[in-house]
Structure 1
Amino acid sequence: MIKYKISSENPQSHYLNIEMVIDNISAETIELQLPAWRPGRYELQHFAKNIQRFEVESSQENVPFYKITKDRWVLEVSGLQEVNVKFTYFANLQNAGSSFVDESVMYVNFVNCLPYIEGRMEEPCEVEVVLPDDYKIACGMAHENFVFSPKDYHQLVDSPMLASPYLQCQKYQVEDVDFYVWFLGNYIPNWEKLLSDFQKFSEKQVKVMGDFPEKDYHFINWILPTSFYHGVEHRNSTMIVLGPDSEGDGLYTDLLGVSSHELYHAWNICKIRPVEMMPYDFTKENYFPTGFVAEGVTTYYGDLFLVQSGVFTQEQYFKELETVLKRHFEQDGKAFQSLVESSFDLWLDGYVQAIPHRRVSIYQKGAVVALVLDLMIRLRFGHRKSLETVMQILWERFGKTAVGYSLEDYQRVCEEVYGRSLSTYFVDCIHGNIPLESMVNELLDAFGLQMQWNEEGKIHLEIMEAENENLKLWLNL
């Protein structure tokens, strides 16, 4: 068993001390790899740049080692049964995907700082975290006396940990699944309202998808005094960083939106995963063309589930939908790339400002084309089928079986649900870059809605027919 130990001798310095004991050595050399990226953000992040010093020793002497890539080491271990790797890691970033330590917080995304041994990722491992006795831990992995025992490296690096003596926690239950809501920061939740709202959208998602992939789930929230909006999905948890803590109702609305979005990821990407990522390769880019399914469909349903479950009012939902429409059509509606191309290029520049009219957002345009497909299916079948039906089939065929889906698989399932070819939809909306305003408005019209433009070219979502029957069935009003 590979054992890790994480401590911080001087938390104010923001350094973590990492120890890694490697046993059962049977080769002359072993290769040690620190991930180059993390699930949930599809760009190379080069975590090895945060390592200050690095050394390897055995009980007898120092062990020779050398690098073969920026984040991969070869250890010369001939004749040794066990070696101890030690290094310091600079942890000074407060966001949902990094690591941070100071005198009152230890926040660790294990994927940032714990390497794996090539060929041994499937082995159980152990992680001991050295913390003061009064610290509480929020994490998707269970622990005993600050010791975690993940079944393999994949579980370990998909389970961030937030630790502090100041953590708050409450829980609720949906069917037989326990949902935990954690908070750190200068924020006092209205627990009665929060738990009621969270339970409503959680119940809705579980009902739609049929069952929940995990035995428990943790919403881990870190509320900062500065402006922030960031969430990252994990197999049975999400790490969310929001701010400022003085925002009041606005912060709570953000919390609902990002929480519903990240919870849906427990199915869509954590389990219903592109075949190109089965399994994750942490050494390099994992290119995939279906980012618009992973993020666009999730963006669409994250908000829709809130109104369908009664957490959002119709007006609140339309405000969020209007924001999605504005971000796409006002910002990159004339971009050259298709959704497939922009999904692939996430690894190139997907999280920074692109050059003008190059890339579309897989989140915003992905949500727009998800809206288009959902309304098309609903109108064809009188709401007896919808995009929900597509996602349910993907869950049964590709999520539960852990085989991964391709772009072709997604189109086949969509066409199976629709009952006829969707080649025009996929050519225009997924593989193409034609303007979609007319298509969207034609569908919205059947639901009593319209996008309208003012003199400055800004979009407003107008309710034309408040009592529209399609609208009521769509929003579950």
Structure 2
Amino acid sequence: MIHYRVSYENPLTSYLLVEMTLAVPADAPQPLELQLPAWRPGRYELQNFAQKIQRVEVVAADSGAALPWRKLTKDRWAVSNAAGQQVRVRYRFYAHQMDAGGSWLDETQLYLNPVQCFMYAEGRQDEACELQLDVPDTWEIACGLPQSAPHTLAARNFDHLADSPLIASPTLQHHTYEAGGLPFHVWAQGSEALINWPKLLSDFKAFTEVSLALFGGFPVADYHFLNQFLPLKHYHGVEHNNSTVIVLGPAAQLMNDELYKELLGVSCHELFHTWNIKAIRPAEMQPYDYSRENYFRSCFIAEGITTYYGEYLLARSHVRSPEQYFTELNTVLRKHFDDAGGDNLSLADASMDLWLDGYKPGVPDRKVSVYHKGALVALILDLTLRQLSSHARSLDEVMRRLYQEFGQTGIGYTEEDYIRLVNEVAGRDMQAYFDKFIYGTEPLLGPLDKLLRTVGCQLVSAPNPAHAENTFGFRTTSRADRTDVSYIWPGSPAEKVLSVEDEIVAVNGVRETPNHQLLLPGNAPHYELTVLRQNRLLTLQLNAEPGQTFGTRYEVRRLREADEAQQKGFRQWLGWEY
């Protein structure tokens, strides 16, 4: 067994003291190599956690004698003379990142994502691990790992440990509910959050039961929602083996409609990940390799389908009304259609490029979101399968079979496996769907509208109310006392005169103030703009001309008149009367 111990001296410094102790056999390969993960599951980019480590020491535990070591890479260490020794590795880790993938230490709590701060011994990732937390006796621990002793957690192996975040605190709120005969735990850290627990538990139970029914089982024996409710605005969630960390704020507004809606959406999304990516895992990640990128082309399944179901199941479980669901779907539509990157990169290639720049804006018009477009092509597939089978089959069956064939067996699936299952559920060759929407850049607008009409809905267009976006094709961001050009639609009138990062100083000779509604007053066809570009003051003429712009917004609405078949399709898709 490999032992880990976490303690601290002054919580206000945010430095954790980490110890790792392991016995090295006399005949073990030399040197002993230690690896700190370079990334974390759920965010497919290198994160360089090693930059938070300070003062590494390696000693023989019995004698206290120092053992020589050297760094091989930014996050890999080689220890000499370790054979036959009980080796103890000590270092300090800076825990000052409060988001769903981070770690945090202060006088009120210890919040830990082990994947950030625990090294593993190369070749020994499958050994059982034990984690001891040196925190006050009065502190409670929220974690998906079982406690083998007070403040001591047990893990099957390093992957189990790395994928089990925890919160230790004296102020945790804890409630449970049961679904499918299994216990679900809801933990809350944050004194400002005044939670309506009966409502929250009822809503969580509802979407959990619908999710369990969809898959016909659950990969784990229990589940933990670990919530950090902050006094400031925040939104983030990360999935784990049998838990999720969700960071939301401002906590005082948690039960207000807008923030509570976000809590429900991210919670349902992360629970769905328990099946889709934690159990149903791509072959390229079976097992995880924490030392490098794990490239895979199927994130449109892992994240796109999960994004679709994360909101859709809230409607099916009657936690949300159809119109509330459409509001969330309209946000996905807006985010997709307000970016031209979908013309230039396929979903499969965007999955690969998550490791490159998937979580940053990147250069203009280069990429497409596996989350937003992925959700829309999942909707297209679901409605197509329903149309082909008169709702006897759907994307539900594809996901259920993925779980049965791969999630329950521990075998990683390939793109070919997914295509095969889609074809089998459809009862026909679906290659055209994949060629257009997964491996190509076919527009989604027409197919979406056509399929939505089969379930009594349609895409309704409306003009973009922002004059700069609608008429001229550019978007701005305001901060402090300046307004900057942030996005220009390809082929737009604005593209002829403006550049990204231009600061708009004046409009028609009047000093610009950061207010989007007044940016281009009067909805005129011509404006004289004074901009600051690379510290040079320029005067430009902006003219309304034919071209591409952010001209149209799309929304899902029910048809004013739906026939009997369309109304029936609506009921079968959403589970609501038309």
TM-score bracket for this pair, using the shorter chain length: over 0.9
Q: Give 1:76's aligned residue.
A: 80
Counterpart of 2:198, as a letter, is E
Q: Give 1:160's aligned residue.
A: 165
Q: Give 2:123's aligned residue.
A: 119
Which consecutive segments of 4 or more residues in structure 1 shift more than 3 A?
A: 332-335
Q: What are the residue-to-residue correspondences of 1:70-469 with 2, within 5 Å?
A: 70-143=74-147, 144-185=149-190, 186-247=192-253, 248-332=256-340, 334-456=342-464, 457-465=552-560, 468-469=567-568
Q: Give 2:522's aligned residue.
A: none
Instruction: Report the secondary structure of 2:101's partner residue.
Output: coil
- What's the CA shift for 1:249? 2.1
Counterpart of 1:168, as a letter, is Q
- What's the CA shift for 1:225? 1.4
Counterpart of 1:269, as a letter, is I
Output the CA distance in 1 between the equivalents of 2:108 and 2:425.
52
Output the CA distance in 1 between the equivalents of 2:257 and 2:10.
37
Q: Give 1:4's aligned residue.
A: 4
- What's the CA shift for 1:24? 3.5
Q: Give 2:497's aligned residue.
A: none
Q: Give 1:472's aligned residue.
A: 571
- What's the CA shift for 1:7? 0.6
Question: Would the alpha carbon gap of residues 376 and 22 (structure 1) be closer, same or farther in structure 2, given more than 3 Å must change?
Answer: same
- What's the CA shift for 1:60? 4.7
Instruction: Report the secondary structure of 2:417's partner residue.
Output: helix
Q: Say whether the 8 Å CA contact 1:54–1:87 is kept in structure 2.
A: yes
Q: Which one is further off, 263-272 or 465-474?
A: 465-474
- What's the CA shift for 1:22? 1.6
Output the CA distance in 2 between the equivalents of 1:135 and 1:243.
23
Q: Give 2:473's aligned residue.
A: none
Cα deviation code 1:36-91 (max 9, x no counterpart) = 00111100001000001111111152100001111000000255421111100001
Instruction: Report the secondary structure of 2:251's partner residue.
Output: coil
Cα deviation code 1:377-405 (max 9, x no counterpart) = 11111111000000011001111111111
Q: Say whether the 8 Å CA contact 1:204–1:309 is kept in structure 2.
A: yes
Q: TM-score, normalised by structure 1?
A: 0.98
Counterpart of 1:32, as a letter, is L
Counterpart of 1:45, as a letter, is Q
Q: Say whether the 8 Å CA contact 2:283–2:413 is kept in structure 1.
A: yes
Q: Give 2:35's aligned residue.
A: 33
Instruction: Report the secondary structure of 1:119's partner residue.
Output: coil
Instruction: Report the secondary structure of 1:458's partner residue.
Output: strand
Output the CA distance in 1 between the equivalents of 2:40 and 2:81.
29
Output the CA distance in 1 between the equivalents of 2:399 and 2:558.
28
Instruction: Report the secondary structure of 2:155's partner residue.
Output: coil
- What's the CA shift for 1:253? 0.8
Instruction: Report the secondary structure of 2:339's partner residue.
Output: helix
Counterpart of 1:56, as a letter, is V
Question: Would the alpha carbon gap of residues 78 and 471 (structure 1) be closer, same or farther in structure 2, given more than 3 Å must change?
Answer: closer
Question: Would the alpha carbon gap of residues 332 and 77 (structure 1) be closer, same or farther in structure 2, given more than 3 Å must change?
Answer: farther
What CA RMSD, in Å, does the superposition of the two structures yield over aligned residues? Answer: 1.2
Output the CA distance in 2 between the equivalents of 1:9 and 1:71.
25
Q: Give 2:66's aligned residue.
A: 62
- What's the CA shift for 1:347? 0.4
**Residue 51 (structure 2) pairs with residue 49 (structure 1):** yes
Rg larger in 1 or in 2? 2
Output the CA distance in 2 between the equivalents of 1:150 and 1:401.
20
Q: TM-score, normalised by structure 2?
A: 0.81
Cα deviation code 1:322-354 (max 9, x no counterpart) = 111111112246440000000000100011102
Output the CA distance in 2 between the equivalents of 1:375 and 1:60.
65
Output the CA distance in 2 between the equivalents of 1:163 and 1:432.
47
Percentage identity across aligned positions? Answer: 47
Cα deviation code 1:271-305 (max 9, x no counterpart) = 00000000000000000000000001001011111
Counterpart of 2:113, as a letter, is N
Gaps of 5+ in 2: 465-551
Output the CA distance in 1 between the equivalents of 2:118 and 2:71.
16
Question: Would the alpha carbon gap of residues 131 and 394 (structure 1) be closer, same or farther in structure 2, given more than 3 Å must change?
Answer: same
Q: Say whether the 8 Å CA contact 1:335–1:433 is kept in structure 2.
A: yes
Output the CA distance in 2 between the equivalents of 1:197 and 1:240.
16
Output the CA distance in 2 between the equivalents of 1:159 and 1:221.
14
Instruction: Report the secondary structure of 1:239's partner residue.
Output: strand
Output the CA distance in 1 between the equivalents of 2:305 and 2:122.
35
Output the CA distance in 1 between the equivalents of 2:154 and 2:17.
19
Counterpart of 2:160, as a letter, is Q
Counterpart of 1:221, as a letter, is N
- What's the CA shift for 1:246? 3.2
Q: Say whether the 8 Å CA contact 2:269–2:310 is kept in structure 1.
A: yes
Gaps of 5+ in 1: none
- What's the CA shift for 1:259? 0.5
Question: Would the alpha carbon gap of residues 348 and 223 (structure 1) be closer, same or farther in structure 2, given more than 3 Å must change?
Answer: same
Counterpart of 2:554, as a letter, is I
Q: Give 2:501's aligned residue.
A: none
Counterpart of 2:136, as a letter, is P
Question: Would the alpha carbon gap of residues 200 and 19 (structure 1) be closer, same or farther in structure 2, given more than 3 Å must change?
Answer: same
